[in-house]
């Protein structure tokens, strides 16, 4: 049985005990992948940031909050799998020193300095020495295909699933997604599909790979 690791959902980067920085990811894409993989005879490990979704049946599940926690969970488990699919919307920047107490409303402005998080997908080949099938997503608002190709090459992916997140009917927090499957030999434009159907198309690509 093939084993797959899937990252899903947003991350939350704490500012203080009451506030965090996050994004619009609902987890729907990653959970659709986990569901479809579990129904396609894969052993699934789902590593997910906070979502409102039910964990699909027959999946192992590790809940995480921050980009750092997601990094550590992936680092620990990626060696056990044949395929890794990174659909999470991981924060690129985090607040280095979250306040222990709720920040008070003193001044008219509040400046907080953010520092870069670790790139989990970008660590797979080098830091984690992952040799299996590596699939990343690219969420773009411009130059979709060019940026996807750059990500494919820079991060050593076999496939990038590229989606334009400016579309209202596709991407973040909706049930559909319009994507391009980008590989080193070219790209395939898929129509607007349910996230379930896109998940099945990705699985088909893996099985044909």
Catalytic residues: 23
117 counts as binding ligand PMT under rule CB under 6 A: yes
Handedness of CA 144, 125, 204, 201 (dihedral sign): negative
# binding residues, ligand PMT (CB under 6 A)? 29
Per-residue binding string, ligand PMT, 57-76, x by CB under 6 A, is ----------x---------
36 counts as binding ligand PMT under rule CB under 6 A: no
Token pair 């020495």 in the structure block, residue: 129
From the list 80, 92, 169, 189, which residue makes contact with ligand PMT (rule: CB under 6 A)?
92
C-alpha distances in angstroms, 107 versus 18, 98, 104? Answer: 18, 18, 9
DSSP for 114-136?
EEEPP-HHHHTTTTS---SEEEE
151 counts as binding ligand PMT under rule CB under 6 A: yes
The H-or-E segment that residue 31 falls in is helix 28-39
CB of 108 to ligand PMT, least distance (A): 32
Instruction: Identify whether the C-beta of residue 194 lies closer than 8 Å to the C-beta of residue 176.
Output: yes
136 counts as binding ligand PMT under rule CB under 6 A: yes
CB of 104 to ligand PMT, least distance (A): 31
Kindly tell me which of 103 and 187 has the beta carbon lying closer to ligand PMT. Answer: 187
Q: What 8-state DSSP symbol labels residue 80?
A: G
48 counts as binding ligand PMT under rule CB under 6 A: no
Instruction: Identify whether the C-beta of residue 25 lies closer than 8 Å to the C-beta of residue 41.
Output: no
Residue environment code for 87-110, b if the CB has 16+ CB neighbours within 10 A, otherwise e: bbbbbeebbeebeeeeeeeeeeee
Kindly tell me which of 6 and 15 has the beta carbon lying closer to ligand PMT. Answer: 6
145 counts as binding ligand PMT under rule CB under 6 A: no
CB of 138 to ligand PMT, least distance (A): 4
28 counts as binding ligand PMT under rule CB under 6 A: yes
Residues of this chain that bind ligand PMT (CB under 6 A): 7, 9, 25-29, 67, 86-90, 92, 117, 119-121, 136-139, 151, 163, 165, 171-173, 177
């Amino acid at each position: 049985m093939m084993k797959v690791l899937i990252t899903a959902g947003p991350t939350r980067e704490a500012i203080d005990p009451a506030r965090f920085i996050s994004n619009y990811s609902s987890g729907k894409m990653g959970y659709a992948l986990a569901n479809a993989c579990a129904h396609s005879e894969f052993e699934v490990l789902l590593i997910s940031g906070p979502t409102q979704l039910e964990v699909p049946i027959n999946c192992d599940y590790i809940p995480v909050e921050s980009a750092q926690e997601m990094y550590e969970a992936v680092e620990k488990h990626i060696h056990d799998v044949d395929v890794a699919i990174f659909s999470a919307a991981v924060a690129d920047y985090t607040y280095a020193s979250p306040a222990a107490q709720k920040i008070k409303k003193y001044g008219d402005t509040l400046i907080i300095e953010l520092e870069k998080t670790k790139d989990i997908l970008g660590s797979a080949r080098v830091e984690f020495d992952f040799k299996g099938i590596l699939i990343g997503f690219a969420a773009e608002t411009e130059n979709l295909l060019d940026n996807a190709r750059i990500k494919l090459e820079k991060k050593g992916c076999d496939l990038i699933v590229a989606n334009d997140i400016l579309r209202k009917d596709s991407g973040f927090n909706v049930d559909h997604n319009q994507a391009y499957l980008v590989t080193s030999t070219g790209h395939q434009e898929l129509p607007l599909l349910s996230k379930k159907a896109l998940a099945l198309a990705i699985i088909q690509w893996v099985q044909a790979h």
